[in-house]
Structure 1
Amino acid sequence: MGVRRRAAVAGLLSAMLAVAGCGNDGSSSTHEVDARGPITFVTQKDNSGVLPFIADKWNKAHPGEKVTIKQQSDQADQQLSDFEQHFQAKDPGYDVITVDVVWTAEFAARGWIIPLTGQHKLDTSKLLPATVTSATYNGKLYAAPYGADGGLLYYRTDLTKKAPTTWDQLTGACKGKTTAGTITGAKPACYAGQFAKYEGLSVNAAEAINAAGGSIVGRDGRSATVDSAQSSAGLDFLVKGFKDGYIPKEALGFQETQSLNAFESGQLMFMRNWPYGVAVLNGKGSKVKGKFAVAPLPGPSGHGASTLGGHNLGISAYSKHKATALDFLKFIESDTVQRNNLTVGTLAPVLTAMYSDPALTAEFTYLPDLLKSIQTAVPRPITPFYPGVTEAIETNTYAALQGQMSTQQALKSMQAAIKSATAGG
């Protein structure tokens, strides 16, 4: 799912600028690339309960190469700060790490993780292509897709017969069902996503921009491309939403939880959120249990473009047991682990075949729609300067949503801020 990712991690951007584009090719590692032994897997807090299964299965099969799992906090800023501290110290104790999809380029450019090429090559033929793209930097695979995620449209089946596939259909379905800019009262408001000033806003803005054919940075990860007619058409869908009232003003404070709570209490007709919300909305006490469904996000003329979420796993450049670490990556992508991640933790699998598995689709009926979402997903800007880029998106998008500047002004300011963030690398 989307994580809160701030730009103000001390020293990150300046240090990264000095080494951007100089990724480790794995050929000059301090340690033997074929060494085996115990490893440590450093990952985010296990809120889904899947880590005990992973540790037990691996350790029983590899008694001489056991894995120790170190859980970090559930805050992305703290996770990144922890990685920065240990990698700058060239700590060999962090063998395998969980890499948010927006960190792959940064970690690769700084030489923190090794490319999965040569004798570290990983077979990606069974994986969702979008997840492989999120783990790739400068044409090389640097991480192993671990968990996928894509934005979905939640809609009230008791209020509309079918999901809208276009923005016009969405707003049209709301006519007569919204109140003027409020999510209180008898009638639900029309639509909300995540519009507070945090990483989730970058996600929502990117989805709108990408759906309209715009982009934020070029393929080089440096060139600012966001100031375009296409980007303007996309961002304007959100700006007009607040201006015209089909997005309630309260949504300016919505992160994932707040938007989910509003939908769960019956105050929204449509909502953009991640797949984990299905379990929450079907839970005890939900006012919309049995009254909602999910579909791919709409766009200007058809299905839109979800922002790809999820996490990857990388092998530390300073690990002493890289061969074992590679085998652990392959184990994580096995059917056994991916199936447990879904059934126990409701984590979206990275194996393509699971989305058409009869047993799984019977239990998780939203999998086909989630697959469509992921297949059309666009990664957040792949750049080693991501902190500055996402800050530019958040700041200017939020100002436009508040009505402090026009869509066009926001994009020009965003373009300038991105140029500044990526300059000198």
Structure 2
Amino acid sequence: MRVWPLLSGVSGYDRAIARSTRRRSVTLRLTHKLLAGAVMLACAGLAQAATLTISCGTVGQDYDSCKRLTDEWARKTGNTVQLLSIPNSSTEILDLYKKMFASHAADVDVVIVDAVWPAQIGEHLLDLKEAASDEVKKHFPALIQNNTVHERLVALPWFADVGLLYYRKDLLDKYQQPVPKTWEEFTHAARVVQEGERQGGRADFSGYVWEGKAYEGLTCNALEWVHSDGGGTFVDNTTGQISIDVAKTGGAFDRAAQWVGTISPKTVLGFGEEEARSVFQNGNAAFMRNWHYVWDLLQGADSRVKDKVGVALLPAGEAGQSATLGGWQLGVSKYSRHQKQATELVMYLTSEKIQKRRAIEGAYMPTYPALYRDSEVKASSPFFGELHDVLEKAVPRPAAITAARYNAVSASIWDAAHEVLKGQTRGEEAAKKLKDDLSRLKGEQW
């Protein structure tokens, strides 16, 4: 057996051990630095991640769509998104926002904004003009203009909307009625179908359901009735002048009042969008006035009218057809603690790519004109191709011109119409009083 001699000084073996030890020491120090750097980067990432709260619509499929898309964005970015529960009524949503903004609450980061709200709550929203500079020119110009307050782009269009007439194709065929083009033809067709169905044993069947409750939805209906008869837009959207033709406005109100208790149930005076949709979707009405969002719901597996529904422009009055411009936008609260991430979320949700998906999957009307020429979008809904022109001609409510006073203006309009619908006053009397009320609200200027 070989015996290793006891070595003195620094042998080659000792030097090898020393070199190995130094290498391990350098490696350990480098590893520690890398681990420390990774921990710092991870912490930085966690610091940048945010929990955002967004208010989405609660009507129909709006909530589910928003939840699905915000979850997708959250997975891609590492952020978390919570959905704020909000009322169904647009009037109640606006009241909620005003209370939150008055206290500068940071509880919500992204808000859904009705087409008539930018001038009312714009001061509480971030200016998105710089962030959306490349996208602005791609949207319908009227929508960008609507969302611009004192040269600040306070919201980005999420989806557009217009008032439309839904009808039962099968029942019009059954009773040999054409799709009505005028209010007179419409009233006649609704009466014929209603009488025929009731004689067949359906005592609860109605000719027409619509938004007759005293709220913003009734203002939209009233604008369509009056404008189609040449009675003005209540307040001129350019000059701010009161534009009510008393005789024509009164006549339009009286015509609608004649529907209540005849072709429409008396309970229509308490209907909003969803109440009207429920009756129609359950097969209990021949016609319905509603927004575009209901189309996809009417074609759902649980719908009793699936594949039996047609869509048309609202009937024409003396001055032609009219449709109220609607739709929803997304804005960022200036009280948000996460403004950068909230802006990025808004840009994602309102992008052309996401709007195309929503158009195909949920029949939402895009705010990008180019998508109305997209073959996949057009194939997803039988009348998407026609909606481009309807949007360009749709009538806006006088929200921008009346600014902070619009809510009072709209309340005066729906109250006047509702009084006539209930039979408590005649159309011309209500129109004259409305004209005086709006003049008082305006004063010298809006």
Instruction: State TM-score, norm by structure 2.
Output: 0.74
Is this contact kept in 2: 1:202–1:390, CA < 8 A? yes
Aligned residue among 156, 159, 165 for 1:147: 159
Is this contact kept in 1: 2:295–2:363, CA < 8 A? no
Is this contact kept in 1: 2:249–2:428, CA < 8 A? no
Task: Report the counterpart of residue 119 of structure 2 in structure 1.
Answer: 105
- The reply on whether 1:40 has 2:52 as its aligned counterpart is yes
Deviation at residue 107 of structure 1 after TM alignment: 0.8
- The reply on whether 1:405 has 2:420 as its aligned counterpart is no
Deviation at residue 118 of structure 1 after TM alignment: 5.7
Paired AA for residue 170 in structure 1: F
Structure 2 SS opposite 1:290: coil
Query: Taking structure 1 as reference, are residues 397 and 313 closer, same or farther at Cα in structure 2, changes over 3 Å only?
Result: same
- The reply on whether 1:89 has 2:96 as its aligned counterpart is no
Is this contact kept in 2: 1:354–1:360, CA < 8 A? yes
Task: Report the counterpart of residue 73 of structure 1 in structure 2.
Answer: 86
Task: Report the counterpart of residue 158 of structure 1 in structure 2.
Answer: 170
Task: Report the counterpart of residue 132 of structure 1 in structure 2.
Answer: 144
Query: Taking structure 1 as reference, are residues 348 and 119 closer, same or farther at Cα in structure 2, changes over 3 Å only?
Result: closer
Aligned residue among 192, 198, 204 for 2:215: 198
Is this contact kept in 1: 2:283–2:305, CA < 8 A? yes
> Superposed, which structure 2 residues align to 1:385-404 within 5 Å?
385-404=405-424
Deviation at residue 101 of structure 1 after TM alignment: 1.6
Cα distance in 2 for residues equivalent to 1:284 and 1:114: 41
Which structure's relative contact order is higher, taking Cα pairs within 8 Å and 6+ residues apart?
A: 1
Is this contact kept in 2: 1:152–1:306, CA < 8 A? yes
Structure 1 SS opposite 2:376: helix
Query: Taking structure 1 as reference, are residues 53 and 158 closer, same or farther at Cα in structure 2, changes over 3 Å only?
Result: closer
Task: Report the counterpart of residue 54 of structure 1 in structure 2.
Answer: 69
- The reply on whether 1:384 has 2:404 as its aligned counterpart is yes
Paired AA for residue 424 in structure 2: Q
Deviation at residue 117 of structure 1 after TM alignment: 4.0
Aligned residue among 282, 297, 300 for 1:280: 297
Query: Taking structure 1 as reference, are residues 410 and 349 closer, same or farther at Cα in structure 2, changes over 3 Å only?
Result: same
Task: Report the counterpart of residue 27 of structure 1 in structure 2.
Answer: none
Cα distance in 2 for residues equivalent to 1:332 and 1:238: 38
Task: Report the counterpart of residue 315 of structure 1 in structure 2.
Answer: 332
Task: Report the counterpart of residue 24 of structure 1 in structure 2.
Answer: none
Cα distance in 2 for residues equivalent to 1:303 and 1:62: 49
> Superposed, which structure 2 residues align to 1:236-385 within 5 Å?
236-242=254-260, 245-284=262-301, 286-301=303-318, 304-319=321-336, 322=339, 324-382=341-399, 383-385=403-405
Cα distance in 1 for residues equivalent to 2:371 and 2:82: 26
Is this contact kept in 2: 1:392–1:414, CA < 8 A? yes
Cα distance in 1 for residues equivalent to 2:320 and 2:210: 17
Cα distance in 1 for residues equivalent to 2:145 and 2:249: 22
Is this contact kept in 2: 1:97–1:313, CA < 8 A? yes
Is this contact kept in 2: 1:130–1:377, CA < 8 A? no
Paired AA for residue 283 in structure 1: G
Deviation at residue 222 of structure 1 after TM alignment: 5.9
Structure 1 SS opposite 2:413: helix
Q: Give identity over the alignment, percent.
A: 28
Cα distance in 2 for residues equivalent to 1:183 and 1:136: 54
Is this contact kept in 1: 2:91–2:215, CA < 8 A? no
Deviation at residue 307 of structure 1 after TM alignment: 1.6
Instruction: State TM-score, norm by structure 1.
Output: 0.77
Paired AA for residue 86 in structure 2: S
Cα distance in 2 for residues equivalent to 1:222 and 1:302: 21
Structure 1 SS opposite 2:222: helix
Q: CA offsets, 1:193-247, max 9 Å, x none? A: 211223221121112122233112233796433344443454343134348x444
Cα distance in 2 for residues equivalent to 1:371 and 1:303: 18
Q: CA offsets, 1:249-296, max 9 Å, x none? A: 443333223322333344432221122322333334544332221112
Cα distance in 2 for residues equivalent to 1:253 and 1:357: 39
RMSD: 3.4
Query: Taking structure 1 as reference, are residues 171 and 130 closer, same or farther at Cα in structure 2, changes over 3 Å only?
Result: farther
- The reply on whether 1:235 has 2:235 as its aligned counterpart is no
Structure 2 SS opposite 1:170: helix
Query: Taking structure 1 as reference, are residues 220 and 112 closer, same or farther at Cα in structure 2, changes over 3 Å only?
Result: farther
Paired AA for residue 54 in structure 1: L
Cα distance in 2 for residues equivalent to 1:302 and 1:291: 31
Cα distance in 2 for residues equivalent to 1:238 and 1:88: 39
Deviation at residue 184 of structure 1 after TM alignment: 9.6
Cα distance in 2 for residues equivalent to 1:121 and 1:258: 40
Higher helix share: 2
Structure 1 SS opposite 2:366: coil
Query: Taking structure 1 as reference, are residues 174 and 328 closer, same or farther at Cα in structure 2, changes over 3 Å only?
Result: closer
Give unmatched runs, 5+ long, in structure 1.
Answer: 1-35
Cα distance in 1 for residues equivalent to 2:381 and 2:421: 35
Paired AA for residue 164 in structure 1: P
Is this contact kept in 1: 2:126–2:334, CA < 8 A? yes
Give unmatched runs, 5+ long, in structure 2.
Answer: 1-47
Q: Please identify, of 379-388 and 43-52, the stretch whose mean Cα deviation from structure 2 is larger.
A: 43-52
Is this contact kept in 2: 1:308–1:380, CA < 8 A? yes
Q: Which has the larger radius of gyration?
A: 2
Number of residue equivalences: 384
Structure 2 SS opposite 1:331: helix
